[in-house]
Amino acid sequence: MKKVRFFQSIHLKFVLTYILLIMVAMQIIGMYFVNQLEERLLTSFTTSLKDRVTILNYSVKQELTKDRSKDDKSPQGQRTVQQDLEQLLVTEFEKENITVKVINPNGIILGTSDAENQEIVDQRTTDLSINRIILGNPIQEEKLDPKTNERVQIMTSLIKNDNDETIGILYVSASMKEVYDQLKQINLIFATGTMIAIAITVAIGILLARAITRPISDIRKQALEMAKGNFSRKVKVYGNDEIGQLSLAFNNLSKKLQQAHASTEGERRKLTSVLAHMTDGVIATDRKGRIILLNDPAEEMLNVSRETALNEFILSILDLEDKEGYSLESLFNEPDDVLLDFSTRNKPYILRASFSVIQKETGKINGLIIVLYDVTEQEKIEQERREFVANVSHELRTPLTTMRSYLEALGDGAWKDENLAPNFLAVTQEETERMIRLVNDLLQLSKLDATDYRLMKEFVNFTDFFNRIIDRFEMSKEQNVVFNRKFSKQARFVEIDEDKVTQVLYNIISNALKYSPEGGTITYRLKERGNMLEVSISDQGVGIPKDNLLKIFDRFYRVDKARTRKLGGTGLGLAIAKEMIHAHGGRIWATSEEGKGTTIYFTLPMESVQEDEWI
């Protein structure tokens, strides 16, 4: 991994770029220098060769035009020319890589500078280019010698006499080996110099790259640390150049980012704390209605996990997807409160969802904020209020209707009838008393509901107190009902308001007597449950259906309304008992079995005080 990072580093790239630039520059300079040098050497070589050819042409011309005999064409004259040419050419070019041939206009070789190849003299040349030279087209070219595989410079010249007649051809072939050897040597020297320059350049480039890339490397490390959330590290400033200014700017950026991060983190923690400690549920969605955030209360209210709810469609989570009139567009355009009913048969559960739109500064909708409120208790109270008003109206209407009927009858003359008038007046009196009891019970409930309601508590031996209440009912009862006391005479001290608890016991015992059959038994029990005293009163009446058992403590609730009215009940007795027991810090409940009877339980906080302390 380190090698990969090294080969990908800017340090190496900088050095390579520096070396490549130097190499390209050296190559361009070398190519230009070598080309110019080669051109100069070749030009110099050609010029020098031309000068020698000119001089040689004159010398050969002198030899060919020398008057050796009267008959120039005699064999002796010709031989003398060959000898003179051999001496001239061999002596002149013996130690040089130059081959010279002298050819007469008929293509016969008169002489050559090659001492080892004198047998070609007096032979006709096979070179086809000689004919072109004879016709007046001299040759000057460079070609590869097939024998030596070396580059040679070919140069020809016509030898003319004073009458401008061609008397011979001078053919010169000069080897260019020395020229190209010099070029090779110069190229080698230049290549060696280039390598030395590159080596020095590499060393200098590494030092320069390190000096330049060190602060950049520090900035990179700082950027990585900042990505991890560490803003405390600072970049070292090596100078006041552009990189130094970049380092200073980066340090300032790091400081400002640290401050911004701290501020953002603080705000995030505040928001997280607010969301975590809110009792209301909060849900946020994106512009497509997908959930992106929800707090713990929202999870509990909707009974979903965060992992399940995230990225789900909000209408699906709120169970509004299949309901008419609800769509994402309608929530965006007309956000309003919506009641969500998640009630079951056994338990009511209602939420109110309040929608608000998240908008950018440009006005573009970016999502929704949904706040969930548990309004089950509010809805229940509202329902109870409506039922309470309806029940009070119903309870008052019945006796008032009865009274009005009887009073109208009396007003129509029934008061004169000695048999009917007393009955009518007795019924009117009963209905009046019933309304008085109802109003008194309502006033009692109203006092219990008041926030400034106070109990007049004092410590009481509940065993004696309970016995006194039971004795009153036992002495005044009219039915044939047996009272069974299943508790000891042990003192049990509680701090209670005697009047209120007396009313609770009167309501419960009265109900037990009302619904107990002739010959039945009412059982009274006292049990200690930790720091609570449990009181229970059981009868052997008709019992209460299981579905109605939890509702008997509601206001105006009756299991058998017709029978209850017949017995004179208002449906508020157990509701008052419940409020009073709760005010004492206890609780009240009931168990029942149809056909066998009902038991009412309630508890009171008990003080662990010995009886002799109160004597």
Per-residue model confidence as pLDDT tens digits over 359-374: 777 778 888 888 888 8
Is residue 572 classed exposed, middle or buried when 0-12, 13-18 and 19+ CB atoms within 10 A define those classes? buried
Question: Alpha-carbon distance 521 to 484, whole Å?
Answer: 7
pLDDT higher than 50, residue 183: yes
Residue 71 maps to a domain? yes
Mean pLDDT, residues 450-477: 82
Name the pTM for this structure. Answer: 0.41
Mean pLDDT, residues 18-44: 81
Domain limit, last residue, from 183, 207, 231 = 183
CATH of the domain at 526: 3.30.565.10
Residue 223 maps to a domain? no
Residue 262 maps to a domain? no
Is residue 576 within 8 A of residue 503, CB to CB? The reply is: yes
* DSSP secondary structure string for all residues of 194-258: HHHHHHHHHHHHHHHHHHHHHHHHHHHHHHHHHHTT-----PPP--SSHHHHHHHHHHHHHHHHH
- Tokens found for residue 72: 């120039």
Per-residue model confidence as pLDDT tens digits over 408-419: 777 777 777 777
Residue 202 maps to a domain? no
- Tokens found for residue 62: 């002198």
Beta bridge partners of 150: 145
- Tokens found for residue 36: 């110019």
Q: Do 402 and 517 have their domain in common? A: no
Four-residue CA torsion sign, 238, 243, 249, 255? negative
Q: Do 341 and 422 have their domain in common? A: no
Amino acid letter for position 376:
T
Q: Do 562 and 508 have their domain in common? A: yes
Q: Are strands 521-529 and 588-593 parallel, antiparallel or unpaired?
A: unpaired
Q: Do 161 and 21 have their domain in common? A: yes
Q: Do 512 and 369 have their domain in common? A: no
Query: Could you give the 3-state DSSP secondary structure of residue 385?
Result: helix
Q: Do 436 and 500 have their domain in common? A: no
Hunting for tokens 């308001």 — which residue is that?
Answer: 497
Question: Alpha-carbon distance 246 to 215, whole Å?
Answer: 9
pLDDT higher than 70, residue 144: yes
Measure the CA angle with vertex 248, ends 245 and 254; round to 5°.
Answer: 140
Question: Alpha-carbon distance 98 to 114, whole Å?
Answer: 9
Question: Alpha-carbon distance 209 to 206, whole Å?
Answer: 5
Beta bridge partners of 590: 600
Q: How far is CA 159 from CA 49, 61, 104, 167, in A?
A: 16, 6, 9, 6
When mean pLDDT is compared over 400-409, 436-445, 482-491, 544-553, the highest value belongs to 482-491
Question: Alpha-carbon distance 272 to 424, whole Å?
Answer: 73
Is residue 463 within 8 A of residue 487, CB to CB? The reply is: yes
The answer to which of 161-170, 292-301, 497-506 has the lowest mean pLDDT is 161-170
Is residue 155 classed exposed, middle or buried when 0-12, 13-18 and 19+ CB atoms within 10 A define those classes? buried
CATH of the domain at 366: 3.30.450.20
> Quick one: pLDDT band at residue 220, thresholds 50, 70, 90?
confident
Neighbour count for residue 555 (Cβ, 10 Å):
20
- Tokens found for residue 344: 């079951």
Q: Do 428 and 320 have their domain in common? A: no
Per-residue model confidence as pLDDT tens digits over 235-277: 777 777 777 787 788 788 888 888 887 888 788 788 777 777 7
Q: Are strands 458-461 and 150-160 parallel, antiparallel or unpaired?
A: unpaired
Residue 226 maps to a domain? no
Four-residue CA torsion sign, 226, 228, 234, 240? negative
pLDDT higher than 50, residue 91: yes
Residue 323 maps to a domain? yes
Domain limit, last residue, from 356, 374, 392 = 374
- Tokens found for residue 391: 């029940």
For residue 144, which phi and psi values (nearest 5 degrees)? -95, 125
- Percent of the chain at pLDDT > 90 equals 7
Question: Alpha-carbon distance 11 to 209, whole Å?
Answer: 6
Query: Could you give the 3-state DSSP secondary structure of residue 615?
Result: coil
Q: Can you give the pLDDT at residue 388?
A: 65
Q: Do 43 and 110 have their domain in common? A: yes
Q: Are strands 521-529 and 482-486 parallel, antiparallel or unpaired?
A: parallel
Counted residue by residue, the chain has a size of: 615
* DSSP secondary structure string for all residues of 526-568: EEEETTEEEEEEE--SS---GGGGGGTTSTT--SSHHHHHHHT
> Quick one: pLDDT band at residue 562, thresholds 50, 70, 90?
very low
Q: Can you give the pLDDT at residue 432?
A: 79
Q: Can you give the pLDDT at residue 395?
A: 63
- Tokens found for residue 34: 């070598």
Q: Do 16 and 164 have their domain in common? A: yes
Mean pLDDT, residues 99-105: 81
- Tokens found for residue 482: 């047996």
Residue 268 maps to a domain? no
Is residue 62 within 8 A of residue 170, CB to CB? The reply is: no
Element (H, E) at 339: strand 338-341
Neighbour count for residue 604 (Cβ, 10 Å):
21
Q: Do 500 and 559 have their domain in common? A: yes
Number of domains in the chain: 4
Q: Do 385 and 366 have their domain in common? A: no
CA atoms within 13 Å, Cβ hemisphere of 384: 13
Mean pLDDT, residues 99-120: 79
Question: Alpha-carbon distance 244 to 215, whole Å?
Answer: 8
Question: Alpha-carbon distance 99 to 174, whole Å?
Answer: 6
Closest CA to 120 of 128, 110, 129: 110
Q: How far is CA 517 from CA 552, 573, 612, in A?
A: 20, 20, 42
* DSSP secondary structure string for all residues of 452-519: T-----EEEEHHHHHHHHHHHHHHH--S--EEEEES-S---EEEE-HHHHHHHHHHHHHHHHHHPPTT
Hunting for tokens 């209020």 — which residue is that?
Answer: 385
Domain limit, last residue, from 140, 159, 183 = 183
Residue 206 maps to a domain? no
Closest CA to 123 of 104, 108, 138, 111: 108
Question: Alpha-carbon distance 30 to 27, whole Å?
Answer: 5
Question: Alpha-carbon distance 516 to 539, whole Å?
Answer: 6
> Quick one: pLDDT band at residue 7, thresholds 50, 70, 90?
low
Where in the sequence is the domain holding 401, given as residue range(s)?
380-449
Question: Alpha-carbon distance 602 to 589, whole Å?
Answer: 6
CATH of the domain at 417: 1.10.287.130
Q: Do 385 and 357 have their domain in common? A: no
